[in-house]
Structure 1
Amino acid sequence: MSILDDIVDRTRDEVKRRRKLVPEDQLRTRLSKRDADRPFAEALASRPGVSVIAEHKRRAPSQKKKLRKGSTVEEVVSAYQRAGATALSVLTDEPFFGGSLDDLAAARTASDLPILRKDFIVHPYQVVETAVSGADALLLIVAALEDKDLAKLYRQARELDLDVLVEVHDGEELERALEVVDADVIGINNRNLRDLTIDLGTTFELLSHIPAGKVVVSESGISRREEIDELERVGVDAVLVGSHFMKQDDIEAACRELAATT
């Protein structure tokens, strides 16, 4: 079993638990209070140069210790906003990344930037959770979903005015993302979710197969301004950066360096 399989299995069990605590029909009563006037995809596409999606991430699956101690969610996302991040990503998976929906709610309170809920979305209940928790977009990982589930979750998210970052790791997954849902925002994850190795070349390899008009996000392994300049040269619209920022003593300065437009 790969780490992705393990995470998905744990996620399904956790969703069952949450559905018992708060049934979906009860959760849906909170949708009427949602403010959806923060378009995630539009923000990424409209900014000159490469947009930075700055992520709040408590830890990585391969590490038990926290990436950053002593900083609240509010402090981190406020620093990102001051530094010029275009959007935020908040990791809400608890068993493997130490996050929660409380982190997402805290980020929403502290910032008016568009927020992506970064998690392993495998059930319609999670889509409703995402909307009522204050996010503006969610992540769908092609490797974690069958085609019918990918299509269903994508459609439901769009019906709730959530943008969707559809994440791929290879050519086969990219083909599915384009054929099954014709994704508007495609994330190319440079991290192999089966063995956790990182290769930035994955973005360069897959980019040429993405039709014009799509918003392309390069994810994982990005830590230097030179890398962003090269990604901008080939047409990448945005980068998602988490671990690099969370490890820095001055998180605002680190984000400012990568978010600077050329």
Structure 2
Amino acid sequence: MGAGRVTDHLSAILERKRGEVIRRARHPLPAIDDTSDRGARALAALRRPAGAPPRVIAEIKRRSPSAGVIRPRALGDIVAIARAYEASGAAAVSVLADGPGFGGGVLDVRRAARAVGCPVLFKEFVIDPRQIDLARASGASLVLLLVRALTGPELDVMIDAVRRRGMEPVVEAADAAELSRALQTNATIVGVNARDLRSFQLDGGAASRALQEVPNDRIAVYMSGVGTREDFARVADGRADAVLIGTELMRAPDPGARLREILGDRA
């Protein structure tokens, strides 16, 4: 790659995703018989009480375009890891539903949702309402929506679609301009990703500064780049109501034990 050129990983993923959505529609996932308002439960789980540390969204992610293989697949590991996260203090579990780029799948989301009592985040590159139907059928309570992947009108439509299905959207921004767009919606949960999804470069300082702009009546989520107890303490001293942690946990021999180490006396 020449100097100054940045690989746009996200554009390639979204192009692939358009074809996947069409193919997946031919094989719908049977719905879970559940009329509960999962979204309300998720909001309660992620709100940070005064004086308490941020809530943790612990992520199950097998690989990424930037890191390569993070944790090879093993029989029964989705259930074991999800339960370990919940037992170790996670308020929610995030599960990657993208296969080619991140090694996940919709069935992984369903396995995790059946295994734990806490909310599960359907983490996907959502560009079509049919993916939201999949999230609901998988048992998810939360659905990730990327500002960068959707136009303003599309984002509003997707937020409403998630809520109509009894779930809650997590609207993710990667910079100040995207955060401004996110805050123009009626989304309650707004995340700022320290990792740019085009280049996969990290900038924790910029994410922390952007998160300060999230009003107190919303739930602010710091996403990516937290791998140590010191990282968590730094983020905990800022605006974050919740922190998403994934790669560092999945690289550890015991993800639950690693989560407890990161939380330390803030658990």
TM-score with structure 1 setting the length: 0.91
Q: Residue type matched to 2:143 in 1?
A: L
Give the counterpart of 1:11 among 9, 13, 17: 17
Q: Residue type matched to 1:151 in 2?
A: D
In the alignment, structure 1 residue 145 sits paired with structure 2 residue 150: yes
- The CA deviation at 1:252 is 1.6
- The CA deviation at 1:64 is 4.4
Match of 2:218 in 1: 214
In the alignment, structure 1 residue 30 sits paired with structure 2 residue 31: yes
Gaps of 5+ in 2: 1-6
In the alignment, structure 1 residue 2 sits paired with structure 2 residue 4: no
Aligned equivalents of 1:62, 1:198: Cα separation in 2: 11
1:38-57 map, 5 Å: 39-46=41-48, 48-57=52-61
Kept in 1: contact 2:48–2:241 (CA 8 A): no
Match of 1:86 in 2: 91
- The CA deviation at 1:182 is 2.6
Match of 2:194 in 1: 190
Aligned equivalents of 1:35, 1:155: Cα separation in 2: 17
Q: Secondary structure at the match of 1:187?
A: strand
Aligned equivalents of 1:33, 1:43: Cα separation in 2: 19
Q: Residue type matched to 2:118 in 1?
A: L
Gaps of 5+ in 1: none
Q: Residue type matched to 1:18 in 2?
A: R
Aligned equivalents of 1:191, 1:167: Cα separation in 2: 11
Aligned equivalents of 2:81, 2:69: Cα separation in 1: 18
Q: Residue type matched to 1:42 in 2?
A: A
In the alignment, structure 1 residue 203 sits paired with structure 2 residue 207: yes
Judging changes above 3 Å, is the alpha-carbon distance between structure 1 residues 148 and 194 closer, same or farther for their aligned structure 2 residues? same
Give the counterpart of 2:236 among 214, 232, 238: 232
Match of 1:76 in 2: 81
Aligned equivalents of 1:261, 1:165: Cα separation in 2: 28
Alpha-carbon RMSD: 1.9
Judging changes above 3 Å, is the alpha-carbon distance between structure 1 residues 155 and 37 closer, same or farther for their aligned structure 2 residues? closer
Aligned equivalents of 2:124, 2:37: Cα separation in 1: 20
Cα deviation, 1:98-147, whole Å, max 9, x if unaligned, reads 11011011101211111001110000101111111100010000011111
Cα deviation, 1:178-234, whole Å, max 9, x if unaligned, reads 11x232111110001111111111222202322221111111110112222222222
Aligned equivalents of 2:175, 2:34: Cα separation in 1: 39
Kept in 2: contact 1:189–1:202 (CA 8 A): no
Q: Residue type matched to 2:232 in 1?
A: I
Kept in 1: contact 2:70–2:251 (CA 8 A): no
- The CA deviation at 1:254 is 0.6
Kept in 2: contact 1:121–1:139 (CA 8 A): yes
Aligned equivalents of 1:259, 1:111: Cα separation in 2: 20
Judging changes above 3 Å, is the alpha-carbon distance between structure 1 residues 248 and 37 closer, same or farther for their aligned structure 2 residues? same
In the alignment, structure 1 residue 100 sits paired with structure 2 residue 102: no
Q: Residue type matched to 2:34 in 1?
A: K
| Larger displacement relative to structure 2 (201-210 or 190-199) | 201-210
Judging changes above 3 Å, is the alpha-carbon distance between structure 1 residues 16 and 68 closer, same or farther for their aligned structure 2 residues? same
- The CA deviation at 1:160 is 1.2
- The CA deviation at 1:31 is 6.0
TM-score with structure 2 setting the length: 0.90
Paired positions, count: 256
Aligned equivalents of 1:157, 1:70: Cα separation in 2: 31
Give the counterpart of 2:163 among 153, 158, 161: 158
Aligned equivalents of 2:58, 2:196: Cα separation in 1: 20
Aligned equivalents of 2:214, 2:141: Cα separation in 1: 24
